[in-house]
């Protein structure tokens, strides 16, 4: 998780085995951005597959915070209902930002509302990215500021979060993922999941939903102040007979009024819009998770059949290296065929599924 442009998709692309697939995926994801929750899987070790969940950022320029929340919440609800629990969360933040922006603090506030409290924070990594873009001394100073900031990472560290650096390499990415495989193997349930599934709350009535409503109310008030400021500037321009400036301000006021009107409407219909959007997003997630589950079962069954056929049971250790390599190569081809039949449509999904080369015991998300 993390804000828009912090390197979430780049982080995921580093975990792919082949350089050309890693480069193609990174180029594609960087170009389109993360617009919805997406699942990515890769082989951590033999018979150990890791699933990563890529989420859109809350400071998106083209989507409201409550629209992004609908997308994330729908995945968390549907996956939890299907018995899937998270091993943990990696939250990314750009170390290249020269100051702690308001958007970053708002993202962190929403993150805390989603997570809740308790021991969940012991399964969370707060990682800084883009160290290659800053002087190490400057980056270290910013990192200290982030950790000591009361509205950012200070309380989270006290509650058990790990503070790490992601150096934009496959090794660095694997080290972060390994934390959940080797050190924190327990599963976690987020506060938002408890509210939506166990307590059967409406999304608008959860802590995260209320946070989204408060942000929308703040936007309404900010737009009202902006419109008032434009009106004052326009009056001054008319007094000074500045026709060009007045004309530009008239146009700006028109756009500001339209935006204010939309925000007021969104706020008035917040609960209903949240409920309807959440239901639609949940339906999309159900289809996605059903396809994922079906694919996992099929791949496990086929891999088991291939291993039994290619490795003689009478002497399983004879020519084991050659047999396993052959099994993996055959399985790669079979994997492509299976995943193309499972129901993939987008280029992103196709590129992802082709790059998966094995499936076994699921170690976690």
Distance CA 327, CA 321 (A): 10
Which residue in the block uniquely carries the two structure tokens 């708002």? 106
Name the phi and psi angles at 356, rounded to 5: -75, 130
Tokens linked to 296: 């996992």
Q: Is the pLDDT of residue 32 over 50?
A: no
Which residue in the block uniquely carries the two structure tokens 């959940």? 180
Degrees (nearest 5) of the Cα angle 265, 268, 273? 85
Region 80-94 average pLDDT: 90
pLDDT score, position 161: 94
Region 305-318 average pLDDT: 54
Q: Is the pLDDT of residue 250 over 90?
A: no
Distance CA 274, CA 262 (A): 15
What is the average pLDDT score of the chain? Answer: 78
Q: Which residues make Cβ contacts (< 8 Å) with residue 138, sequence separation at least 6? A: none
Task: Sort strands 124-129 and 162-165 into parallel, antiparallel or unpaired.
Answer: parallel
Lowest mean pLDDT among 106-120, 172-186, 282-296: 282-296
For residue range 36-81, what is the model confidence (pLDDT) as tens digits?
Answer: 788 887 778 776 778 888 888 887 777 888 889 999 999 999 989 8
pLDDT score, position 328: 52
pLDDT score, position 41: 78
Tally Cβ neighbours within 10 Å of residue 118. 12
Distance CA 260, CA 55 (A): 29
Q: Is the pLDDT of residue 130 over 90?
A: yes
Tokens linked to 283: 């339906």
Q: Is the pLDDT of residue 134 over 60?
A: yes
Q: Is the pLDDT of residue 362 over 50?
A: no
Task: Give the DSSP H/E element, type plus range, for residue 91.
Answer: strand 89-94
Three-state DSSP state, 221? helix
User: What is the value of pTM for the model shown?
Assistant: 0.73
Tokens linked to 190: 């987020």
pLDDT score, position 296: 60
The strand ranges marked E within 147-274 are 162-165
Task: Check: CB of residue 57 under 8 Å from CB of residue 104.
Answer: no
Task: Check: CB of residue 135 under 8 Å from CB of residue 98.
Answer: no
pLDDT range class, residue 289, cuts 50, 70, 90: confident
Return the C-alpha torsion angle 278, 282, 288, 293, nearest 10.
140
């Amino acid at each position: 998780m993390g804000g828009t442009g912090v390197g979430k998709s780049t982080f995921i692309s580093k975990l792919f085995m082949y350089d050309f697939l890693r480069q193609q995926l990174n180029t594609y994801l960087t170009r389109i951005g993360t617009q919805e929750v997406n699942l990515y899987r890769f082989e951590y070790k033999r018979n150990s597959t890791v699933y990563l969940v890529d989420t859109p950022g809350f400071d998106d320029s083209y989507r409201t915070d409550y629209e992004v929340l609908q997308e994330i919440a729908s995945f968390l609800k549907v996956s939890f209902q299907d018995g899937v629990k998270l091993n943990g969360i990696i939250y990314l933040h750009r170390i290249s930002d020269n100051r702690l922006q308001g958007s970053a603090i708002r993202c962190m506030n929403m993150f805390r509302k989603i997570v809740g409290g308790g021991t969940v924070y012991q399964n969370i990594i707060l990682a800084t990215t883009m160290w290659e873009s800053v002087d190490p001394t400057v980056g270290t100073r910013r990192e200290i500021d982030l950790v000591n900031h009361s509205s950012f990472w200070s309380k989270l560290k006290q509650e058990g979060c790990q503070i790490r650096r992601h150096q934009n390499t496959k090794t660095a990415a694997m080290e972060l993922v390994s934390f959940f495989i080797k050190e924190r193997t327990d599963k976690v349930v987020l506060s938002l999941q408890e509210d939506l599934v166990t307590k059967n709350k409406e999304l608008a009535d959860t802590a995260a939903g209320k946070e989204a409503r408060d942000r929308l109310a703040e936007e309404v008030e900010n737009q009202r102040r902006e419109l008032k400021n434009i009106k004052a500037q326009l009056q001054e321009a008319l007094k000074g007979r500045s026709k060009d400036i007045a004309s530009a301000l008239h146009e700006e006021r028109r756009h500001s009024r339209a935006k204010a009107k939309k925000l007021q409407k969104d706020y008035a219909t917040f609960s209903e819009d949240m409920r309807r959007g959440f239901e639609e997003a949940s339906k999309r997630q159900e289809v996605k998770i059903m396809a994922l589950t079906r694919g996992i079962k099929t791949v496990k069954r086929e891999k088991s059949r291939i291993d039994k056929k290619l490795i003689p049971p009478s002497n399983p250790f004879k020519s084991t290296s050659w047999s396993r390599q052959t099994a993996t190569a055959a399985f790669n081809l079979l994997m492509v065929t299976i995943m193309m039949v499972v129901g993939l449509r987008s280029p992103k999904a196709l590129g992802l599924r082709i790059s998966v080369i094995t499936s076994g015991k699921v170690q976690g998300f």
